[in-house]
Structures are given as structure tokens and as C-alpha cells.
């Protein structure tokens, strides 16, 4: 298969159904091809395991078991597994998945270095939702890393490669001990110690991914896998704010909780982590809105620095002086009017008595 991959004209059709078109990704254990499903007439992505893994009987059996479990996962943040099989002509195991146009998160981090805080949190929430769903279905990823997270142009994140790391546990430890339980840069302390992983192990790996998105580097690095395993098991991570001061203190606390050495001190499942990050993001957005919103109320009154100028009296004009004098003529005319009306009362009384004499 590896010889054929160099010449696209000679790419085979796997299982008599999947016509390989071109290589769209590669890793230490597999090549990923864009392919055409001849039966359903659609594009798919096919992960073809490299020859050493395909030849191992124990791995083939475990791979098929894990592929069946992964095919039962249906979630918006998980790459759907359609099919799997073994091609006799090329002696290759393969896994058929939905084709996701986009870029893996590791490539994005290599290009951009760090991501803005809210963008990083939104992406990790999606990863935690997908992995949390798998935890509820009884499946542990075991190899959570940015290479296994595909980001579409509309910022949808989908997790892929469920169960492949567990399948590799069937390989003899002396053959490939450094990848039995995941990738050394991202695996948990218990995986570094060779113990079986749990949902809390995936949570730790999500913490490593979030740390890298926020700071541009994983919390631990060493060229020697043994030394790297020691760092995961024994050494505390460097607080991420020392590398990126723009990280809020409250978010740093969440990251450090994810990277606790003891599984019981982390969040129990990825779903719990998703809920914690959703709550944090909502509070952060509310706080940002309050800070940037223009106040609709008047500014508070302040004491003037100097006393106000004295109030000058209104100027007095000749007209205003005449208005203040008593108008005696008007008063006299008013009295005469009252007397005139009052004098008519006896006259009208005499007329009434004349026509209505008392009896």
C-alpha cells in the first residue's frame, strides 16, 4: 500500500467499493485518503493502517472491535464512522469515515501559534461535548490530541479516531511501548504509568489541548518519551498565565484543575467539563457586555473646584417702579361699583312688596 501511495494512478479500490483518490493526511500509523464510495456515490475519508499494524493479528481483531463501537457514535462533534474492513489485495486494514472539509487543529496551531481566549474555549467545548457523549456511550478515546480534531471553515469541531489507541494495546509492549495508550505529549499521568485510561484521562488530555491553544505550547515537552512520561506523572505544569497574561485567572484555574495528577481531582467526564466551560464563557461574555455598554444614566454630580459667581439683582426700570405704586383710582372706581349694586337692592325689594303685599 505504501508503494502504491506514491503513484496516484495506481491507487487501488478497497473492498471493491472505495476508489482511493488522493492522500489528504498521514501519520505514524496510517495514511488518510479522500475516496469515492462507488456504492452510495459519495465522497468519504478512509484511514488505511500501515502494513506493520495490518499484519498483527491481535491488533486486527481489536481494531475491528473498536471500529464497531465507534460506528455506533452519532454526534455533531464526532466524525461518523461508516464502515471498516480488510483488503486482501493490499493486506490493509481500513476505516471509512465521513469526509470533513477543513483542517486539523494541530495544523491551525502551527500556523497561528495561539488562539484568542474565547475562540479556544468555544472549540474545546465542542471537543468536550463529543468526547462526553462517547463517555456516556461507554467509550473512551484514549488518544485525545489536536491532530484528531478537525475544524471546518464555519468553526465546527469534530473529533476523530475513537478507539484506535485502545486497539494498539493489543500489540506487544516491546514493539511500540511509547504509543500503546496514546501520544506522549498529550496522554495523562496514568497512561504515562502504563495504567488503563478512564474518562478522566481524556479530560486531562483535553486540558493539555486547551493549554496549547492558549499558550502556543503543551505544558510538558521532552525529546525522550521516558522523560516526558516522568513530567506528566511528577512535575506540576507551568501556570499558563506566565506564558500568556491575557488568560483570565478564572480560566487558568480550570486549566490547572484539568491537569491535576490524580484523576479524582479533575472533572469526572468530558461532559462535565463542557458544562463548566459553557458557564465560564457565558459569564465572560456578560462581563464584557457590561464593560463595553454605554451608560444611559447621567454622570454623577461633582463638587465644583471654584465657588459659583454671585447672583446679581435684576435691574429696576421706570416701568417696574410705577407697577409697585398703589393704583388709588382703580380702587375708588371699584368701591363706587359696589355701592351702586348695593343701592339697587332696596329698590328691587320695594317693587316686590308693592306687587306682593303681605297678608
104 belongs to the catalytic site: no
The one-character DSSP state at 79 is P
Classify residue 16 as left (phi > 0), alpha (psi -120 to 50) or beta: left
Terminal Cα-to-Cα distance of the chain (whole angstroms): 146
The one-character DSSP state at 196 is P
Active-site hit among 83, 87, 104, 143: 143
Classify residue 91 as left (phi > 0), alpha (psi -120 to 50) or beta: left
**Cβ-contact 94, 82 below 8 angstroms:** no
Alpha-carbon gap, residue 269 to 137, rounded angstroms: 12
Segment holding 350, helix H or strand E: helix 328-355
Provide the sign of the torsion angle of the four alpha carbons 278, 283, 287, 289, taken in this order.
Answer: positive
**Cβ-contact 189, 204 below 8 angstroms:** yes
Grid coordinates of 194: 502504563
Grid coordinates of 240: 499558563
Grid coordinates of 279: 458557564
**Cβ-contact 166, 142 below 8 angstroms:** yes
Alpha-carbon gap, residue 250 to 284, rounded angstroms: 10
Q: How many CA atoms lie within 13 A of 108 on its CB side?
A: 25
Strands of the chain (E only): list them: 13-14, 18-26, 30-37, 42-49, 81-87, 92-98, 103-104, 149-151, 157-159
Annotated catalytic sites, by residue?
A: 143
Amino acid at each position: 500500500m505504501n508503494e502504491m501511495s506514491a503513484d496516484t494512478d495506481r491507487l487501488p479500490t478497497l473492498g471493491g467499493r472505495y476508489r482511493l483518490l488522493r492522500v489528504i493526511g498521514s501519520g505514524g500509523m496510517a495514511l488518510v485518503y479522500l475516496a469515492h464510495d462507488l456504492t452510495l456515490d459519495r465522497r468519504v475519508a478512509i484511514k488505511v493502517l500501515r502494513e506493520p499494524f495490518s499484519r498483527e493479528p491481535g491488533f486486527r481483531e481489536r481494531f475491528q472491535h473498536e471500529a464497531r463501537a465507534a460506528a455506533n457514535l452519532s454526534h455533531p462533534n464526532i466524525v461518523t464512522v461508516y464502515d471498516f474492513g480488510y483488503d486482501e489485495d493490499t493486506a490493509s486494514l481500513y476505516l471509512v469515515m465521513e469526509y470533513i472539509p477543513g483542517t486539523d487543529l494541530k495544523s491551525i496551531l502551527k500556523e497561528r501559534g495561539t488562539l484568542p481566549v474565547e475562540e479556544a474555549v468555544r472549540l474545546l467545548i465542542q471537543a468536550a461535548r463529543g468526547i462526553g457523549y462517547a463517555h456516556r456511550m461507554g467509550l473512551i478515546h484514549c488518544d485525545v490530541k489536536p491532530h484528531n480534531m478537525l475544524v471546518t471553515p464555519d468553526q465546527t469541531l469534530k473529533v476523530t479516531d475513537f478507539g484506535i489507541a485502545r486497539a494498539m494495546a493489543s500489540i506487544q509492549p516491546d514493539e511500540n511501548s511509547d504509543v500503546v495508550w496514546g501520544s506522549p505529549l498529550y496522554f495523562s499521568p496514568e497512561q504515562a504509568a502504563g495504567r488503563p485510561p478512564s474518562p478522566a484521562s481524556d479530560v486531562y488530555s483535553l486540558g493539555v489541548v486547551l493549554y496549547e491553544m492558549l499558550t502556543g505550547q503543551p505544558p510538558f515537552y521532552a525529546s525522550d518519551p521516558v522523560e516526558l512520561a516522568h513530567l506528566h506523572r511528577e512535575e506540576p505544569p507551568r501556570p499558563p498565565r506566565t506564558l500568556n497574561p491575557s488568560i483570565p485567572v478564572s480560566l487558568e484555574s480550570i486549566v490547572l484543575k484539568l491537569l491535576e495528577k490524580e484523576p479524582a481531582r479533575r472533572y469526572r467526564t468530558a461532559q462535565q467539563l463542557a458544562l463548566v466551560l459553557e458557564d465560564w464563557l457565558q459569564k465572560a461574555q456578560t462581563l464584557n457586555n457590561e464593560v463595553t455598554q454605554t451608560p444611559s444614566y447621567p454622570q454623577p454630580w461633582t463638587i465644583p473646584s471654584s465657588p459659583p459667581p454671585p447672583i446679581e439683582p435684576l435691574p429696576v426700570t421706570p416701568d417696574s417702579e410705577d407697577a409697585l405704586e398703589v393704583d388709588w383710582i382703580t380702587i375708588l372706581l371699584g368701591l363706587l361699583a359696589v355701592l351702586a349694586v348695593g343701592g339697587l337692592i332696596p329698590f328691587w325689594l320695594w317693587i316686590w312688596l308693592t306687587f306682593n303685599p303681605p297678608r
